[in-house]
Amino acid sequence: MHCHVRWWTAPFAALETEVPRQGAILEIGCGHGLFSTYLALTSRDRQVRGVDIDADKIEQAGAAIARLEPGEADIAVEHRPSGDVPERSGGWDAIVLVDVLYLLSPVARRELIGRCVDRLAPDGVLVVKEVDTSPRFKAAVAQFQEFLATKVFRFTATDHDLHFPSADELRHLLVDAGLQVRTDRLDRGYFHPHCVVIGTRPLRTA
């Protein structure tokens, strides 16, 4: 039920177009693997890896991936209880965070962004999708849904109060981390104020 609600209330098709069509892609906080699997299925040239601190969700994600046809998608998921960002030789071509940062304190949020930037390849992109704090009606709907998911039904685990960052806050975070940043709205036709912030790591200069 949770995955069905996620699929119909999140703009995954639009978000997919913001992720490179090829290369090594890491999704942090992949949960049940819904978006990671979608990324891998929509382009066989992506090598997708999803990580999450929730062992049960990763087990379910692995079971779903096991039902794919051989060669249908290049995807793997991993339980990482430490919540660290995996390293990769040469860096990741893209790191994706989908509705993760609101679960963290502002300090932890900044630290995670910094670790992601350190793990990016030159010219790699950090794709951050969250629900904005405006317009207020849409924000209230989204925040109430997330309260139910985290505090009542406990589909998503968190030890912290929820901190919903605005698109402008996210943009500043990525700019402060040294990325070239653009933002976009993905909420047309949705009850939630979906936004995406994309940061590109500059190529190294001599």
| Total count of residues recorded for the chain | 206
Q: Roughly what angle, to the nearest 10 degrees, separates helices 167-176 and 106-119?
A: 50
Q: Please say if the pLDDT value at position 2 is more than 90.
A: no
- pTM for this predicted structure: 0.91
Q: Beta strand 180-185 with 194-200: parallel, antiparallel or unpaired?
A: antiparallel
Architecture of the CATH domain 2-200: 3-Layer(aba) Sandwich (3.40)
Tell me the mean pLDDT in the region 79-87. Answer: 93
Domain ranges of the chain: 2-200
Tell whether the model's pLDDT for residue 139 goes beyond 90. no
**Helices 55-66, 34-42: inter-axial angle, 10-degree rounding:** 30
| pLDDT tens string 32-49 | 999 999 999 999 999 999
